[in-house]
Amino acid sequence: MKKKIKIAPSILASNFSILGEEITAISKAGADYIHFDIMDGHFVPNLTFGPDTVKFLRKYTKKVFDVHLMIKPVDKFIIPFIKAGADIISFHPETVKNANKTISLIKSYKKKVGLVLNPNINENKIYPYLSKIDLILVMSVYPGFGGQKFINSQLKKIERINKKIEKEKLTIDLEVDGGVNFNNAKKIINAGANVLVAGTSCFKGGKRFYKKNILSLKKTK
């Protein structure tokens, strides 16, 4: 069964001086998720937002808050992000001692959990957890900054993971993050992704273009 294509704008590319307004505008423009790239300047070379920012932005939209943790350690921040309003929490398995424990903690609060694969990490790393997770996030750039170029080798990885999900008849979202744009979105969707994270492409041109940007990414015809 064809999964609905969802767009998750990354606020990393939004105007930080008016974050609340940006969240309201991109939500009205048709975003399915709001993607928060949480970076600690340790696991990745950049520093972005914490639970308090997420908490203050919660009141600007009802959309799903899709929180991508590029931090280490992870466990002590799970509850603060859940209390701040996160609906989905995704983390990189190499940032935790015991992925099962972290997954159980997130699920104990009835939130969705995702595992994240950097371009150099093989998908086999997360296969032991497939029955416990709701989302797989394939990084198509090395995390840290928006506006990077999509790493084409990840298309084959997306195809392999999609085949595995279909073979095991799992209901898992396959999300792709990094360098997604109007020119490559169709081939990423055709490879099997059903959630596209996009910062630069969604926020390009300012508010009056947001709806068109989102629709252009979803277009597969």
CA atoms within 13 A on the CB side of 133: 26
**177 lines the binding site for Zn ion (CB under 5 A):** yes
Count residues binding ligand DX5 (CB under 6 A). 20
Cβ of residue 42: shortest distance to ligand DX5, in angstroms? 15
| The two structure tokens encoding residue 220 | 């597969």
Residue 46's contacts (CB-CB under 8 Å, 6 or more residues apart) are 39, 144, 145
Report the residue number whose CB is nearest to Zn ion.
Answer: 68
Q: What is the DSSP letter of 54?
A: H
Our CB check for Zn ion shows the closer of 121 and 208 to be 121
Q: Could you confirm whether 40 is annotated as catalytic?
A: no
Our CB check for ligand DX5 shows the closer of 13 and 191 to be 13
Residue 36, classified by CB atoms within 10 Å of its CB into exposed (0-12), middle (13-18) or buried (19+), is buried
Cβ of residue 5: shortest distance to ligand DX5, in angstroms? 16
Selecting among 40, 66, 173, 177, the annotated active-site residue is 177
Q: 191-210 mask for ligand DX5 (x: CB under 6 A)? A: ------xxxxx---------
Site for ligand DX5, residues 154 to 193, rule: CB under 6 A: 177-180
Among 143, 158, 162, 194, binds ligand DX5 (CB under 6 A): 143
Strands annotated E in the chain: 6-9, 33-39, 64-70, 88-91, 112-117, 135-139, 173-177, 195-198
Residues in the chain: 221
Site for Zn ion, residues 30 to 69, rule: CB under 5 A: 37, 68
First to last CA, the chain: 18
Count residues binding Zn ion (CB under 5 A). 3
Site for ligand DX5, residues 35 to 74, rule: CB under 6 A: 37
Number of separate helices (H) and strands (E) present in the chain? 8, 8
| The two structure tokens encoding residue 101 | 């424990």
Cβ of residue 56: shortest distance to ligand DX5, in angstroms? 20
CA neighbor of 146 nearest in space, from 40, 69, 39, 61: 39
**116 lines the binding site for ligand DX5 (CB under 6 A):** no
Q: Could you confirm whether 32 is annotated as catalytic?
A: no
**92 lines the binding site for Zn ion (CB under 5 A):** no
CB atoms within 10 A of CB 135: 20
- Annotated catalytic residues are 37, 177
> Which residues lie near ligand DX5 (CB under 6 A)?
10, 12-13, 37, 141, 143-148, 177-180, 197-201
> Which residues lie near Zn ion (CB under 5 A)?
37, 68, 177
